[in-house]
Structure 1
Amino acid sequence: MSLVSWAHEIAARKLADSLPRRWAHTQGVARQTLRLQSVPGVDTELVEAAALLHDVGYAPDLATLNFHPVDGARYLASIHAPTRLVHLVAYHSAARQDAEVVGLAHLLDDYEDEQTPERDALWWADMTTGPDGETMTFEERMAEVKSRYGSEHPVSRAVDLSWWERQGAVERTEARLEASLEER
């Protein structure tokens, strides 16, 4: 079984019935990663698998810390997922800043933010996919998140604190994608 098939099976089992909207978002994030297949030097299989699993920590039976990046990473480590996949899930989409806002940054100490094109690509896919799986611009997605949570919510505060880092990951990925399309 391929890594992507394995990830899809796990994500569907954990999210499809219990959190159908989260599952729709997850599938949209994974679809977005398919656009990267022509980008040289990016492990697109790893990115697609991470996209499928990035929100698995929201699953009701996994949400023990109420910090989904680490809940997901802990679960994936417990089922012997590849180490890079575990780390990508733990650090997806500015998780460090999210954790700092709520006083949980220490939970990420066991994981590595690899700051690679794969990491950027996962962040890009997540931050350009809406809650129902629709493609959005980065600005639209961040506005949607802040509107959904409200300006004083920790998630909105973390978005404000990490805006430039998030935007950088999106811009680097879009530049890689554009360069690969120009080479064709």
Structure 2
Amino acid sequence: MAARAEELTLAVPEADRELLVVAAWWHDLGYAPDLVQTGFHPIDGALYLTAKGHSPRLCALIAHHSAATFEAAERGLEAELAEWPREEGPVPDALWTADMTTGPRGERFDYAERLSEILARYAEDSIVGRAMSRAQPSIQAAIDRTSFRLAAAN
């Protein structure tokens, strides 16, 4: 996913390009078994990075990556997620795009393929399945905005 984020750096302001790539590298950090606190990897990753003194902006990007608000709602973790402000704009859009166009083994997908891959791993009526289905318009909009910004930059 970090390689995909690197490809998307032209869609974000120059000053934010390194932040995008770092967030891409660390976006799933919360899956590490030793870091699990809530069982929701965006929050667990953000909690760890916050405790280690990383920038609040990086922690917020990790906490909110790929429409995390939808899954946080399914899990009853909205208050925990609200500890970090949700940024809107080119950086989170590009981060979501990188995540939602890259498979779990680094394979390149379009968003429809990625969503199908996710729903094949998680039942459609599971927490993840419901959240990803509800998040579709938000994720597609972020991908569309990133594609527009990237085209404009090229």
Indicate whether the TM-score tops 0.5: yes
Alignment of 1:109-120 (within 5 A): 109-120=82-93
- Paired letter, 1:59: A
Alignment of 1:26-37 (within 5 A): 29-37=1-9
Matched, 1:46 2:19: yes
SS of 2:6's partner is: helix
Deviation at 1:152, TM superposition (A): 1.1
SS of 1:115's partner is: coil
Matched, 1:180 2:153: yes
Between structure 1 and structure 2, the one with the greater Rg is 1
TM-score (norm 1): 0.80
Q: Which residue of 2 aligns with 1:147?
A: 120
Separation of aligned partners in 2, 1:38 and 1:116: 14
Separation of aligned partners in 1, 2:80 and 2:10: 35
Separation of aligned partners in 1, 2:125 and 2:116: 14
2:43–2:80 Cα contact (<8 Å) kept: yes
SS of 1:140's partner is: helix
Greater relative CO (CA pairs within 8 A, separation 6+): 2
How many residues are matched? 153
Deviation at 1:116, TM superposition (A): 1.6
Match of 1:101 among 53, 68, 74: 74
- Paired letter, 2:59: V
TM-score (norm 2): 0.95
Separation of aligned partners in 2, 1:51 and 1:157: 24
Q: Following TM superposition, where does structure 1 have runs of at least 4 consecutive aligned residues deviating by more than 6 angstroms?
A: none
CA deviations over 1:87-145 (Å, ceiling 9, x no partner): 00000001111110121111112111111210101000000000101111011001110
RMSD: 1.1
- Paired letter, 1:107: E
Structure 1 residues 166 and 37 mapped into 2: Cα distance closer, same or farther (>3 Å)? closer
1:87–1:112 Cα contact (<8 Å) kept: yes
Alignment of 1:1-184 (within 5 A): 29-39=1-11, 41=13, 43-181=16-154
2:11–2:90 Cα contact (<8 Å) kept: no
- Runs of 5+ unmatched residues, structure 1: 1-28
2:11–2:146 Cα contact (<8 Å) kept: no
Structure 1 residues 171 and 62 mapped into 2: Cα distance closer, same or farther (>3 Å)? same
Deviation at 1:40, TM superposition (A): 5.5
